[in-house]
């Protein structure tokens, strides 16, 4: 973070300073275990514990300032605020304002039901070639995680990439107001978190908030292949730049598009086309990342680079160097014995699970290998849960996945639907726990098998994938 005095922080967050007006030169943390000398500790109530209980630990670690919601007994300068989360966001907004005023900061916001973290990582690989770049750790994209990412910038930062997630309408609006993105990217509108939103149309409205609030000098990078994302063009004052899988109409062409898309167990290929400014160019894209659906994420990242005036050839080359999308996202593991594991169990939605199953079916059919899908619950689907799990069970059969293992009561509808769709039940098994799934897999796996693990993180299948994958 930019160095700031305690009084400046108090003014930025609308709080009251108690104690000396110290200089804060370290990072801002909400976890006392991460506090370093000269930093600030935000003591906030959480779902499982209360940050106020860890002020002693933060002070011992060298915190110069504490921001708290109630009086602090420890002998440390502190700022009292009505709400810690709101104060964190206010401080993040002030830091971005100061860095913008002093340098050449460009802020890129990324939202969508699927693909945010992969696209963020792709943007990091591209943008860091051109200047210091800050991106979220893991998938920090909510009312706490996004401001924490913003607070990591300093005067040298050239690019800030933010994931913008939402649990309810208004979440992305608040993150946009804090960061004022120069470029807003929308990837896809799907049923992820539909249980919280109440339906896909509400999800679409929430994802529209970022491009709606871009100013006239901004750039909205939109997925032309997604009907609901296409509709967002009418909601923004910003300049719209399209990406997709066709060239689009002559009067409003797609900035970058891809064809020749294919994916094998060695990676994913496509041809990227650009015809803007009357100069047609094409580039071969070769990624180690598995799955044809990741070409859309690559197109989004490359379109941002192109819209910012950055050269495309080194951007395409940067994507070729990426080892994986992210840990637990279509991550290829080779434990030996001729078995291949695809760990995609960090998170799951109906769209991402369907894409992963299609990728598994396509890649194994090409390679002549047996496909095994280990599927757990897709969380936060609310009233859509049974229907969407049922649909995926039927899809697994129609894709001719050779073996299906369904883990956990929340996912049982996948197994039930697959049994009904299939002509014989040996192709699908249901187990209650990851431990049972592990025992089953270790008794059945043979050389040549390709095993996909896909679920929401709460199912615990990521750890199982890593054990089977030899990590």
- The annotation places the binding site for ATP at 112-118
Burial of 117 (0-12, 13-18, 19+ CB in 10 A): buried
Please give the order of strands across the beta sheet that includes 267-274.
Answer: 133-134, 159-163, 106-111, 183-186, 219-223, 239-244, 256-264, 267-274, 281-287
H helix intervals, 343-444: 350-367, 385-398, 412-421, 434-444
The DSSP secondary-structure symbol of 227 reads H
Contact status, residue 452 vs residue 357, Cβ threshold 8 Å: yes
**447 alpha-carbon distance from chain centroid:** 33
Q: How far apart are CA 171 and CA 169, in angstroms?
A: 6
CA distance 465 to 97: 43
Which string of b and e fits 215-252 if b means at least 16 CB within 10 Å? eeebbbbbbbbbebbbebeeebebebbbbbbebeeeee
Q: How far apart are CA 434 and CA 452, in angstroms?
A: 14
The token pair at 300 is 């989004």
Q: CA 405, 411, 413 angle in degrees (round to 5)?
A: 95
Task: Map residue 254 onto helix, strand or coil.
Answer: coil
Integer CA distances (angstroms), 462 to 152, 405, 454, in order:
28, 15, 8
Under a CB-based contact definition with an 8 Å cutoff, are residues 33 and 60 in contact? Answer: no
User: What gap in Å lies between CA 417 and CA 374, rounded to an integer?
Assistant: 15
Strand (E) or helix (H) holding 172: helix 171-179
- The per-type count for the chain, helices as H runs and strands as E runs, is 16, 22
| Distance (Å) of CA 402 to CA 80, 172, 216, 292, 390 | 59, 41, 52, 20, 18
Specify which residues 162 forms β-bridges with: 109
Helix (H) or strand (E) holding 406: strand 403-407
DSSP secondary structure letter of residue 75: S
3 state SS of 214: coil
Identify any residues that bridge with 108 across adjacent strands, giving them in sequence order: 161, 183
What residues form the annotated binding site?
112-118
Please say whether the beta carbons of 39 and 60 come within 8 A.
no
């Amino acid at each position: 973070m930019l160095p700031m005095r305690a009084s400046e922080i108090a003014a930025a967050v609308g709080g009251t300073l108690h104690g000396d007006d110290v200089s804060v030169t370290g990072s801002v943390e909400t976890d006392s275990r991460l506090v370093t000398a000269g930093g600030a500790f935000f003591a906030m109530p959480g779902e499982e514990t209360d940050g106020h209980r860890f002020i002693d630990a933060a002070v011992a670690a060298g915190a110069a300032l504490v921001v708290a919601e109630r009086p602090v007994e420890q002998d440390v300068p502190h700022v009292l605020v009505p709400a810690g989360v709101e104060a964190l966001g206010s401080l993040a907004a002030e830091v971005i304002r100061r860095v913008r005023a002093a340098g050449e900061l460009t802020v890129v916001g990324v939202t969508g039901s699927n693909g945010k973290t992969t696209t963020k990582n792709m943007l990091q690989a591209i943008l860091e070639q051109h200047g210091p770049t800050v991106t979220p750790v893991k998938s920090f994209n909510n009312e706490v995680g996004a401001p924490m990412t913003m607070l990591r910038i300093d005067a040298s930062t050239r690019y800030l990439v933010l994931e913008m997630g939402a649990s309810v309408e208004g979440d992305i609006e608040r993150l946009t107001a804090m960061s004022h993105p120069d470029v807003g990217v929308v990837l896809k509108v799907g049923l992820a978190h539909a249980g919280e939103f109440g339906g896909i149309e509400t999800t679409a409205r929430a994802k529209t908030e970022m491009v709606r609030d871009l100013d006239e000098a901004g750039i909205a990078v939109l997925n032309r292949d997604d009907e609901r994302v296409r509709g967002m063009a009418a909601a923004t004052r910003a300049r719209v730049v399209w990406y997709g899988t066709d060239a689009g109409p002559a009067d409003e062409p797609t900035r970058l598009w891809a064809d020749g898309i294919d994916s094998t167990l060695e990676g994913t290929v496509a041809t990227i086309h650009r015809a803007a400014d009357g100069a047609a160019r094409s580039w071969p894209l070769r990624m180690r990342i598995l799955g044809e659906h990741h070409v859309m994420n690559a197109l989004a990242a490359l379109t941002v680079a192109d819209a910012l005036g950055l050269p495309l050839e080194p951007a395409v080359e940067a994507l070729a160097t990426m080892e994986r999308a992210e840990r637990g996202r279509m991550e290829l593991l080779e434990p030996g014995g001729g078995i291949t594991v695809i760990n995609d169990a960090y998170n799951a939605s109906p769209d991402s699970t369907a894409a992963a199953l299609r990728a598994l079916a396509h890649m194994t059919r090409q390679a002549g290998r047996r496909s095994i899908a280990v599927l757990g619950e897709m969380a936060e689907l609310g009233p859509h849960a049974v229907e969407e799990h049922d649909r995926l069970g039927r899809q697994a059969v129609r894709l001719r996945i050779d073996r299906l293992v369904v883990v956990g009561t929340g996912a049982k509808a996948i197994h039930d639907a697959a049994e009904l769709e299939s002509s014989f039940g040996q192709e699908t098994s249901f187990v209650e726990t990851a431990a049972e799934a592990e025992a089953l897999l270790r008794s059945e796996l043979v050389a040549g098998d390709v095993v996909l693990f896909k679920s929401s993180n709460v199912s615990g299948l990521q750890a199982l994938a890593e054990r089977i994958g030899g990590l």
